[in-house]
Structure 1
Amino acid sequence: MVMRLLVGRCLSALGTALIPTTLTLAVLRAGGGEGELGLVLAAELVPLLVLLPVGGVLADRVRPARVVLLADLTRCLSQAVIAGELLLGVYRVADLVLLSAVAGVAIAFGSPAVPRLVVAVVPGPERLRVNARIGVVTSLSAVAAPAIAGTITVVAGPGWAAGVTAVVFAGSALTLGGVRAPVLAPESGGVRAPVLTSKFGGVRRPLPVGRELAARGPGFGRELVEGWREISRRPWFVACVVGHGVWHFMAGLFLTLGPVVAVRDLGGEASWALVVQCGTVGMVLGVFLAPRLPVRRPLVVVQIGAACYVFPMAALAAGAPLPVMAGAYAVALFGLGLLSPLWETVVADEVPESALGRVRSFDQLISFASRPFGLAVAAPLAGVAGIAAPAVVGGVLVAAANLIAIAWAPGRVQRR
């Protein structure tokens, strides 16, 4: 089942990363400009942000494999319709907007279910290793996807690229949807489920895998409130998520302003490609090493990893030469590579499975919202204050927000 989970996550990440390039080229071929392209890409983001809390509740109500199956099948159908229209020569921006919105709804419901699926399938001692493997395959998929979509579009057209994306999502739906988790006996007859003590000293009871929350009785509003209570009683989680939101925002700034500086001052487009490639190597290396390093306080490593984004911001502010810029970005993504599997594992260990979907939906909401906001405001900020000033302020903020959060990481929390 673990191998099936890895293959499914790889396919899902590949399909997700194929979509932006395919949509961009489709809009451009339809004669659309920046406004139309922005509208198509935003159409996916808006329903995603609005519906993520709802998706978190659903993820805690329904078997995670079932939710992921339906979400990826929906994305498969939306891409298939796009492929059909483009292959028939129908280039309508309005249709692309609508179908992108459908995909955003599917992501909102499917994303919070994925951590629950991992928890349901992978035993606690193995989660860090499996999360690291998932991080490697998803990172490589995200890197390969633009090249795949671009090549298919150049050779055969965006319709075929959308068709390939639909096939990829069909594969991820059938793979992840077929994951079968072990089923625990529900509490009944006055016999209580086993009690587990979390590393924070709290008490948590495992939710029987596959049991539908609809049978429990609480309504949507009550479950949403209970999910927020699970979040609010964990100040370490709130502090870390705020810090992660800051680095996502700064990533939006850097990924907008960095290419401008690279093309203008560092030798052209090839120089920015080198920066991105160095970052990719750093992230894969970090994800690979995360389960192999002797980490005793994972939350501390997580926050230091997020704070490493100060280095590319500092290089951007200083107008550093290409080797320094590339090295700084590699260090930043190495830190994020360490962060990803450690964070996934700590949250899965410390949050009751019955609330994991709702808690992670809050985490994902902050992340999904922050980076597009950074992308949107980068150019206006640079137009008013130049590049150096926002980069300096951003570097200070990303370091401070994440390092301060370490104060909420209890000293007794150690890696198992």
Structure 2
Amino acid sequence: MMYRLLIGRCLSALATALIPTTLTLAVLRATGDGGALGIVLASEMVPLLLFLPVGGVLADRIRPGRLALLADLTRCLSQAAIAVELLLGVNRLLDLALLSAVAGVAIAFGSPAVPRLVVAVVPAPDRLRMNARIGVATSLSAVVAPALAGAITLAAGPGWAAALTAALFACSALTLGGVHAASRGVPPSAPGRTPAASARGLVERGAASSFGRDLVEGWREIRDRPWFLACVLGHGVWHFMAGLFLTLGPVAAVRELGGEASWMMIVQGGTVGLVLGVFAAPRLPVRRPLAMVQLGAACYLLPMVALAVTAPAPVMAAAYFVAMFGLGVLSPLWETVVADEIPEAALGRVRSFDQLISFASRPFGLAVAAPLAGLTGVTALALTGGVLVAAANLVAIVPMAHSRRRRAVRTGSGHSTS
């Protein structure tokens, strides 16, 4: 079952990474209008953000393999419909926007189910290695997919790239849908309550708990873990700064660092760092994984400073390499620690909050980068951003230390995952 899970996640990651390039080329071919492209891309993002809380609740109510199956099948159908339209030469902007919105809703329902599926299938000692393998597949997909979508589009047209995406989603749906979860969730334990007490609470209040009550219980799990909330907010700052860097960095590279080739070197340095970081994560002797997670996020200070001082392209590439290596180490460690620390029955709701912050922050950074740079200048904006991303993530280590001391008092031991 673990290999089936890994294969399904690899197929889904590749299909997901194909979509932006395919849609971009399709819309630009049809309209040549950047505004139209923005409408289509936003049509996926807006429903994704709106429905993520709903997806989190459903992920804790429905068997995760079934939810992953339905989500990927829906994305398969939306991509197949896009492929048919493009192959027939219809190219209606409204249709592409609506089908993208359907895909966004499917992502909102499917994403929170994936952590629960990993927990249900993979034994705790193997989760870090599994999360690292999934991370490597996702990172490589992000590199391979744009080139693959571009090659197919140039050779045969964007409709065939969308058809390939639909086929990959069909395969991932069938693969993940056949993954049988060994565990079943119960409602999250309130502080001081045992899982058995929580199970009795389910019987007492009935299985049909309200959506609002489920959301409140999910928020309670977050509120009772200050370290989680602090880390998620720090990661949100990271994603916002990534949006700034990925908007302002190419402009600086083209204007002052030698052109497009310089930016490609910087991006490739980051890609190599990301893959190596994910590969290294399960092999590093990490005693405090959450502290390592926050240190990895704080490394984004380096490319922001390099951008502020307009460092030479090799220096900026090295800084971006280190930052993305930190992200590579961060991702599987974070997935594993959260799965270990959050009750399985609340994992979907808790992770949907995490994903909501992450999904919203980067597009916001992309959108406001140019206006902010026009007001403050690139140097001031990048320096401020670098300080903020480091401070927001390093400060999050403080509630970890407090949590560790409280746990030591309760258990009589100093052991902690913080």
TM-score calculated relative to the size of structure 2: 0.92
Partner of 1:370: 361
Please name the residue that 1:36 is paired with.
Answer: 36
Report deviation, 1:400. 0.4
- 2:289 alignment partner in structure 1: 298
- Off by >3 Å, runs of 4+ in structure 1: 200-208, 410-416
Partner of 1:60: 60
Matched letter for residue 307 of structure 1: A
After TM superposition, give the deviation of residue 43 of structure 1 in Å.
Answer: 0.4
Shift in alpha-carbon separation, 1:207–1:135, aligned structure 2, 3 A: farther
Structure having the higher helix fraction is 2
Deviation at 1:32, TM superposition (A): 3.8
What amino acid does structure 1 have at the position aligned with 2:30?
A
1:12 is the counterpart of 2:3: no
Name the structure 1 match of 2:116. 116
User: What corresponds to 2:267 in structure 1?
Assistant: 276
1:190 is matched with: none
2: CA distance, partners of 1:142 / 1:10: 11
Per-residue deviation, residues 189-211 of structure 1 (Å, max 9, x unmatched): xxxx9x99xxx999557999xx9
Map residues 59-78 of structure 1 onto 2, 5 A cutoff: 59-78=59-78
- CA RMSD after TM alignment: 2.3
1:267 corresponds, among 258, 264, 274, to 258
8 Å contact kept, 1:298–1:414: no
Please tell me whether the aligned partners of residues 112 and 357 of structure 1 are also in contact (alpha carbons under 8 angstroms).
Answer: yes
Residue identity in the other structure for 1:82: I
Percentage of identical aligned residues: 73
Shift of 1:273: 1.1
2:225 maps to 234
Residue of structure 2 in register with 1:311 after alignment = 302
Structure 1 residue 388, shift from structure 2 partner: 1.0
Q: 2: CA distance between counterparts of 1:239 and 1:315? A: 26
Q: Which amino acid aligns with 2:397?
A: I
1:323-372 superposed Cα distances (whole Å, 9 cap, x missing partner): 10000000000000110011001100010000000000000000000000
Query: Shift of the alpha carbon at 1:216?
Result: 1.8
Kept after mapping to 2: 8 A contact 1:297/1:413: no
Which blocks of at least 5 consecutive residues in structure 2 are unaligned? Answer: 405-413
**Structure 2 residue 326 is matched with structure 1 residue 335:** yes
**C-alpha separation between the residues in 2 aligned to 1:414 and 1:313?**
32
Secondary structure, in 3 states, of the residue corresponding to 2:154?
helix
Instruction: Give the number of equivalent residue pairs.
Output: 403
Give me the whole-angstrom Cα distance separating, in 2, the residues matched to 1:163 and 1:268.
35
Please report how far the alpha carbon of residue 217 of structure 1 lies from its aligned counterpart in structure 2 after TM superposition: 2.5
Does structure 2 retain, via aligned residues, the 8 Å contact 1:304–1:402?
yes
1:250–1:231 CA distance, 2 compared to 1 (3 A): same
Give the secondary-structure state (helix, strand or coil) at the position aligned to 1:409: helix
Counterpart in 2 of 1:409? Answer: 400
Aligned to 1:61, the other structure's residue is in SS state coil
Distance 2:236 2:318 in 1: 23
Identify the residue that residue 220 of structure 1 maps to in structure 2.
211
Q: For the residues of structure 1 that align with 2:36 and 2:294, how far apart are their CA atoms?
A: 38
Structure 2 match to 1:323: 314
Q: Partner amino acid for 2:5? A: L
- SS of the residue 1:290 aligns to: helix
2:411 alignment partner in structure 1: none
Q: Deviations over 1:70-117 (max 9, x none)?
A: 000000000000000110011111111101100000000000000000
Amino acid at match of 1:88: L
Residue type of the alignment partner of 2:218 = G
